[in-house]
């Protein structure tokens, strides 16, 4: 009996992983993906609904077959707490099993000492964990920088080697740290309607970054630092980047510096400056020159990455799509000039990202579930829900 139960929860783990990989999966698709016949699929779905892990909604009827349902997170199901620490602000929320994010709190941190900020965020994380009680299965924190062995560096803010113990011990559950662009890439891959072999996600924010996502997951790397594409030497070799290297691609996207060249001091909020620039461009030579050169830098860098990585699709997040279309000729001239002829004939599509402003939180929430949801946790969860501990 015990081994039958264990097998049930192992199948349930695979079913929930499928729901995290494919949005709005139907009962029929789930059966096909898991290789189950309709009877066992019905039993499985019934068990997951009873355990308050998923809920079912009627799906649009597309064929002649019997009506089917789409599978979603249960409104009283497990949640991952997700915290997105950005250059000027932060957002704290919850993510459901199917990647639905709800933001609970947000705030700015300009001028706040980093240690003090991490302590404050740890308190808020703890408070949210208390509010959600035993529904919390883990937490994830995304940062616009490097997180290695619990130490956090955000070179663009000159934050170096910070101890994150206050955050990672804030709740009595696993807490993981991750790079924001990598997590946004995970969200893109999971939300994309087609199954993708590999997806290259490029983000322009205060600098440029990205991630290569293969089969829905960031590619494995020695220290979890893959995807620091902004620090490829596509830039001026005479410039030292805050990361410590010379000639980084991201230096071309250092928005405070780009603004300074157009006669504007954008130190306080460079992102808003760029958004304003693109929504109301003026016709001065300096502005036109800045937009053309950013678009060309973006196109050239993406060409290099396509040559190296051969992705199935390229998605543009943050402000990257604005940069492309503000000077579309410069972008495609640089892109086509930089592509190997083998890629020029069948270049991957380059499309705007679809996951929106919450992409980092969606990707991180789904990654937390990937790491913590196993048969043992599900069996414990179900026994608590049925009151038979
Ligand atoms: Zn660098």
Q: Which residue has the higher pLDDT, 194 or 83?
A: 83
pLDDT tops 90 at residue 80: yes
The mean of the pLDDT values for the chain is 89
Entry field: residues in the chain? 389
352 token code pair: 């705007």
Residue 273 CA, ligand 1 centroid: distance in Å = 22
Residues 320 and 202 sit within 8 Å (Cβ to Cβ) = yes
Provide the pLDDT for residue 62. 63
Q: Which CATH architecture has domain 2-73?
A: Orthogonal Bundle (1.10)
pLDDT tops 60 at residue 388: no
382 token code pair: 């179900």
Residue 209 CA, ligand 1 centroid: distance in Å = 10
Residue 97 CA, ligand 1 centroid: distance in Å = 35
Cβ partners under 8 Å of residue 329, min gap 6? none
Residue 155 CA, ligand 1 centroid: distance in Å = 9
**CATH (residue range 79-183+361-372):** 3.30.420.40
Query: What SS3 state is found at 261?
Result: helix
- Nearest one of 115, 35, 29 to 70, comparing CA atoms: 29
Residue 228 CA, ligand 1 centroid: distance in Å = 8
> What whole-number distance in Å separates Cα of residue 216 and Cα of residue 179?
16
Distance (Å) of CA 108 to CA 62, 116, 124, 208, 358: 47, 13, 14, 22, 17
pLDDT in tens, 315-342: 999 989 999 998 999 999 999 999 999 9
Distance (Å) of CA 182 to CA 18, 146, 261, 355: 20, 11, 30, 13
pLDDT confidence band for 1 (50 / 70 / 90): very low
Residue 90 CA, ligand 1 centroid: distance in Å = 23
Burial class (CB in 10 A: 0-12, 13-18, 19+), 329: exposed
Candidate CATH numbers 1.10.540.10, 3.30.420.40, 3.30.1150.10, 3.40.50.720; the one for domain 193-353: 3.30.420.40
Residue 360 CA, ligand 1 centroid: distance in Å = 21
Over residues 269-294, mean pLDDT: 79
Provide the pLDDT for residue 252. 83
pLDDT confidence band for 387 (50 / 70 / 90): low
> What are the DSSP E strand ranges found in the chain?
54-58, 69-73, 79-85, 89-96, 101-108, 136-143, 146-148, 151-154, 159-163, 175-179, 198-204, 208-214, 217-218, 313-318, 349-352
Q: Do domains 79-183+361-372 and 193-353 have the same CATH topology?
A: yes
Residue 243 CA, ligand 1 centroid: distance in Å = 4
pLDDT confidence band for 181 (50 / 70 / 90): very high
pLDDT tops 90 at residue 121: yes
Q: Which residue has the higher pLDDT, 64 or 171?
A: 171
Domain boundaries, the chain: 2-73, 79-183+361-372, 193-353
């Amino acid at each position: 009996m015990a081994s039958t139960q264990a097998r049930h929860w192992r199948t349930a783990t695979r079913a929930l992983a499928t729901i995290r990989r494919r949005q709005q999966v139907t009962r029929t698709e789930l059966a096909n993906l898991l290789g189950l016949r309709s009877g066992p699929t019905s039993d499985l779905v019934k068990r997951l609904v009873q355990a308050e892990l998923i809920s079912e909604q009627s799906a649009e009827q597309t064929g002649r077959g019997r009506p089917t349902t789409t599978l979603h997170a249960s409104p009283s199901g497990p949640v991952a707490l997700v915290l997105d620490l950005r250059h000027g602000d932060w957002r704290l929320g919850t993510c459901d099993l199917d990647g639905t994010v709800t933001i609970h709190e947000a705030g700015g941190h300009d001028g706040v000492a980093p240690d003090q900020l991490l302590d404050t965020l740890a308190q808020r994380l703890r408070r949210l964990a208390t509010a959600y009680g035993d529904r919390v299965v883990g937490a994830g924190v995304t940062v616009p920088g490097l997180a290695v062995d619990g130490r956090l560096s955000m070179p663009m803010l000159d934050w170096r080697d910070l101890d994150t113990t206050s955050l990672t011990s804030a709740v009595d559950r696993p807490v993981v740290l991750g790079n924001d662009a990598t997590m946004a890439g995970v969200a893109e891959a999971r939300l994309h309607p087609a199954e993708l072999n590999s997806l290259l996600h490029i983000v322009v924010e205060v600098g440029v970054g990205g991630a290569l996502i293969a089969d829905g997951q960031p590619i494995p790397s020695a220290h979890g630092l893959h995807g620091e594409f902004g620090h490829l030497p596509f830039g001026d070799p005479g410039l030292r980047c805050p990361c410590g290297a010379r000639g980084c691609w991201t230096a071309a996207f250092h928005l405070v510096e780009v603004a300074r060249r157009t006669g504007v001091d954008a130190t306080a909020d460079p992102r808003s400056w760029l958004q304003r620039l693109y929504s109301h461009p003026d016709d001065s030579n300096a502005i036109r020159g800045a937009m053309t050169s950013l678009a060309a830098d973006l196109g050239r860098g993406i060409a290099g990455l396509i040559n190296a990585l051969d992705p199935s699709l390229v998605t543009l997040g943050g402000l990257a799509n604005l940069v492309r279309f503000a000077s579309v000729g410069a972008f495609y001239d640089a892109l086509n000039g930089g592509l190997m002829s083998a890629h020029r004939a069948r270049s991957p599509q380059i499309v705007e990202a679809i996951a929106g402003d919450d992409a980092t939180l969606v990707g991180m929430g789904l990654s937390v579930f990937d790491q913590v949801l196993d048969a043992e946790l599900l069996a414990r969860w179900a026994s608590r829900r049925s009151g038979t501990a």
